[in-house]
Chain A
Amino acid sequence: MFGYYLELALRSLKRSKALTALMVLAVAMGIGACMTTLTVLHVVSGDPIPEKSHALFTPQLEPRDKDNGFYSRGEPPEQVSWQDGMALLKAHRADRQVLMTGGMAPVQPANPSQDPFFVHARYTTAEFFAMFDVPLKYGHTWSATEDERRERIAVISSDLNEKLFHGEDSTGRTVRFNGADLRVIGVIEPWRPHPHFYDLNAGNYAESEDVYMPLGTARDIRGPRAGSRDCWGVGANVEETTLETSNCTWLQLWVEIDDPAHVAAYKAFLVHYSEDQRAAGRFLMPVNVRLRNVVEWLDFQKVVPSDVHLQVWLALGFFVVCLVNTVGLMLAKFMRRSAEVGVRRALGASRGAVFAQLVTEAGIVGVAGGVGGLLLALCGLWMVRQQPDQYASLAHLDMDMLVATFAVAIGATVVAGLLPAWRACQITPALQLKSQ
């Protein structure tokens, strides 16, 4: 029976080409716009580390004095100072903890014919790789011992490994970073969490770094920092070399707490630490701590651009108008065939059969609209990728979205076809036959 309906539907669609084309086009444009914007939203609001996002936290403290100008809005600073970062790192109160900052400096290839180029670097303590599940390709990462000894070592990205060593296992070889020689001990697999949650100073959707080295080593070789630095108090004349002892926040601190029951205890520890610092006269503001997990952190930092949300809503509105339009056109089309429906009913077709046939016809418009919408979405995403935004390069249609595209297209048009089909099958056969 379905085959027969299909044939009838195709024949009917062919009869009024302009109307059919208009319906398909409207559905396709609505679907295309929605899928493009939803894919972008999906990409930018994704969870960068789904397995662990609820176990990773960034502690915030209020170490500033009362006189900290216009920076304060009731929120503690987003980064920590060296003193506090080191104290919390060494307290080992969480399952894992990492203290780090971003950097940027030239790498000079050994081959003199190759020009020096700039790379982003991460100056971090050892547990970074285990904490963020960074996949390793060659060699190994370092341990707390190497952090202590401030060894001249580095883990590099596979991109940089490709550029400098043609993708070979480069462990044991040397990278000249900012004039200092670092021994490569490991190469990581391509890895890019987006958003770049662990340090948003680098840019919300920044690519991950190419060189990783122990934080202490970076301080020794004067690795140039890239990020923000907020200082307060008298003597704001802070030199880059004295950051360890200055009243400045410039480091990111992350902790991993695997057991949810321990989160409250860690927060209590932060409060306790702050109280101790106040008692010692280091902290002057009232105790104010935050312990946000990855998702809360991204939300707090308003990482998803509001334009993206606006575009999704716009596209949804657009889709609704397209659907209303399709319902109207389908109504016109089905009602115009009153005579045909009358004849079929008089010849014994049940209401249900007529209804099924018309809904099939609507479904075909949906499939065609879905295909068109998919093409438009691919085209739309290609255009998004040409945009300069950091997240643009991430905008690709995945399998979920592909299936969703067709489900939504067919579902929506079938729903759109229900009212017109129902109206059409209400036609009384006798009335139509009489007027013939």
Chain B
Amino acid sequence: MNLQIKPILSALRRHKAGTILIALQIALTLAIVCNALFIVHQRVDRVNRTTGMDESNVIAVLNRYVGKPDSFIPLTQTDVAALRNIPGVESAYSTNAYPLRQGGWSTGMQIDPNKTKDSVPSALYFVDEQALKTLGVKLIAGRNFNPSEVVTVGPQSTPAPPQVIITKAIADKLFPGVSALGKTIYYAKGKPSTVIGIVEKLTVPWVEWDHMDNVTLMPVRFDSGYQQFLIRTKPGQQDAVFKAIPGALFKVSRMRVLPEKYGLRTFETVRAKAYEADRGMAILMSIVCAVLLAITAAGIVGLSSFWVGQRRKQIGVRRALGARRSDILSYFMTENFLIALGGAVVGTALALGLSQWMLTHFEMPRVSVTYVGVGVVLLLALGQAAVFAPALRASKVSPVEATRSV
């Protein structure tokens, strides 16, 4: 095997163009594939992020009231009661937002009553005493809200109820090293809110935010014509409840719109919707990788077959001079390995360069060396697999070919 490397190199010098083309193709494919697979990996990681909720058996409803009553609160209250009465419903509440909803409200909060500078941002979820159960989040300190603590907040005013429940992320940030329970936070100047509970984890409504785990639960009924209902069903009852919801709501009042696409969604749908761009990108990148590898393999097969055809006579001569079939096979396999190795070296440099370029243009993390390593192994293996069939055909060339004139 080792002995063959020198003659292979000198033979390759005779088809420079073909050699360079295969090596170039392998290099480009390597550079694109390992960066693309790295992006796939990142997107898959994002899609698999948890919300801190128990996401099974949860249904989200988006409801818009038609008409202009003095207050929407009575309507909302009757709707929530009607939803809670549907057989199979475990708990339900009305809110402005929930994880992965892709729309919601954020505000700055601080522990100094007089300053709003250097405030910590938090998403706000308006909830009642059934919310923790419906969301399925884990309360790790303190207590849940009482029904009597739920306050009404007018449209577009800044809510700052006396009691709030915060996530552990906020507690750690505002009160490092000490318990946040019983402490005071200011969401609006001069209006204190006391922390009565801490939940382990709950994420903001958006999939892209600098502070994913900063969420405040506020015991608030929000006076708005635009309400979200979150419903937890008993296990196995999700489908039945899903079908029963529009009927139950329209029975209360017909003056409402449940928008076609967003009106009624299981939480699985909410999650799929929130991450569909990421999933689409991951699928696209995977397809591109697969097709690129296939094209590269096909190119290697094509060019190697041509070389085998061109060298039938030499192969015959070698066979006649005593070379075994395995020698011929290993000659072509080694040849391809050398070319692929050359391509991989260039490709590694290209891959790192490409990654650096994406870092500056798309603010993406640098591709990990593991990915490049895996890419190199993958392409070397692909090359060997692609060249195997032409090489096998070469090894079957009979020594008699040496005597033929063509």
Contact = CB atoms under 8 A, between A and B. Distances in A.
B246 to A, nearest CB: 13
Given A179-B68, A237-B158, A321-B32, A67 B295 contact: no
Contact of B32 (A68, A314, A336): A314
18 contacts: A22-B302, A26-B298, A29-B291, A33-B288, A67-B116, A115-B257, A179-B67, A224-B225, A237-B188, A310-B39, A314-B288, A318-B32, A324-B28, A325-B298, A328-B299, A329-B303, A335-B306, A336-B309
Interface residues of B, number: 61
Interface in B271-317: 273, 276-277, 280-281, 284-285, 288, 291-292, 295-296, 298-299, 302-303, 305-307, 309-310
A106 interface: yes
Contacts of B188: 236-237
B266 interface: no
Contact of A69 (B21, B117, B190, B259): B117
A430 to B, nearest CB: 16
A388 B273 contact: yes
Given A67-B115, A67-B117, A239 B154 contact: yes
A106 B64 contact: yes
A318 B17 contact: no
Given A69-B116, A336-B306, A234 B405 contact: no
B24 to A, nearest CB: 5
A74 B342 CA distance: 50
B18 interface: yes
Contact of B64 (A26, A118, A236, A329): A118
B281 A307 contact: yes
A328 B302 contact: yes
A301 interface: no
Which 6 pairs from chain A and chain B are nearest by CB?
Answer: A332-B306, A328-B21, A325-B299, A69-B108, A106-B66, A240-B156
A190 to B, nearest CB: 22
Interface of A: 19, 22, 26, 29, 33, 67-70, 106, 108, 115-118, 178-179, 222, 224, 229, 234-240, 306-307, 309-311, 314, 317-318, 320-322, 324-325, 327-329, 331-333, 335-336, 387-389, 419-420, 423, 435-436
A134 B94 CA distance: 41
Interface in B369-406: 405-406
Contacts of B295: 26, 29, 321-322, 325
A317 B154 contact: no
A352 to B, nearest CB: 21
Most B C-beta atoms less than 10 A away, residue of A115, A328, A387? A328
Contacts of A324: 21, 24-25, 28, 299
A307 B283 CA distance: 13
B173 interface: no
